[in-house]
Amino acid sequence: MDVLVVGDVHGCYHTFKALVKRHWNPDRMFLIQVGDLINKGVHSVDTFLYAKKLKKQYPYHVYFIKGNHELLFEEQCKSARPNNAVRATLSEFARQGLSPAKLERWIGGLPLKWETPHMLITHAGIAKDAENPFDEKSELGVLWNRSPIKKMQKVQVYGHKYLDDGKPMYNIKTNSWNVDTAAWLGRSLTAVLFDYQGNKKDVFSLPTDARDLNKLE
């Protein structure tokens, strides 16, 4: 099975759905999304519902990784004063007459990584100096890291730190890929296709659908 890794979606539902329909073949590919599926963009609820549908339909081929924005939602959805991104997502739920508790429960079951003998996929990458990279609260952990990536015996794929030029980047020194191309800012949503041994086969980028850019905060 090949592995299609999708970068940070941030509520860009129309772009995400188009990319999946155009470039993912469930008969021969895993679909892995690196986290930050929600918040910032304007269609977080629809994106979540679509992701949930995909996971239900293809439970052994589709995986969503937990990102820092999933953690923020999990922590703040019951807060009296959630931050702007979470508040906007909660407002979406209210407009659609849906309970945010479903998303909160779904987030609670998300993994922090997807790993094979050849690949490691996390939201923010394993930091070179991290003592406990899977500590959700650590600034060097896989939800928050913005420091240099550790070189490992397998290829790392991550998002979190968006790339200004809208193109994914391979770092030969650390054998790692950053696939966050800032869809929510109107650049593009990117997926990189790997074979099971972690070798890049192709790159797919879609410009952000205009419907995902209305009323961005």
Residue 74 in domain? yes
pLDDT of residue 215: 53
Residue 100 in domain? yes
What is the number of domains present in the chain?
1
- Residue range(s) defining the domain that contains residue 127: 2-212
pLDDT of residue 39: 96
Residue 97 in domain? yes
CB neighbour class for 22 (10 Å; exposed up to 12, middle 13-18, buried from 19): exposed
What CATH number is given to the structural domain containing 162? 3.60.21.10
Q: H/E element holding 57?
A: helix 44-57
CB neighbour class for 20 (10 Å; exposed up to 12, middle 13-18, buried from 19): buried
Sign of the torsion formed by the C-alpha atoms of 179, 191, 166 and 69: negative
Backbone angles phi, psi at 32, to 5 degrees: -120, 125
User: pTM, whole model, 2 decimals?
Assistant: 0.95
Residue 217 in domain? no
Distance CA 35, CA 71 (A): 10
Residue 50 in domain? yes
Give 62-89 as a DSSP string. Answer: EEE---HHHHHHHHHTT-SS--HHHHHH
CB neighbour class for 27 (10 Å; exposed up to 12, middle 13-18, buried from 19): exposed
pLDDT of residue 217: 41
142 residue type, one letter: V
Question: What pLDDT tens digit does each residue of the chain (217 aa) get?
Answer: 999 999 999 999 999 999 999 999 999 999 999 999 999 999 999 999 999 999 999 999 999 999 999 999 999 888 878 889 999 999 999 999 999 999 999 999 999 999 999 999 999 999 999 999 999 999 999 999 999 999 999 999 999 999 988 899 999 999 999 999 999 999 999 999 999 999 999 999 999 999 999 654 4
Residue 67 CB neighbour total at 10 angstroms: 32
Select from 153, 189, 207 the least CA-distant residue to 33: 189
Select from 9, 11, 29, 25 the least CA-distant residue to 214: 11
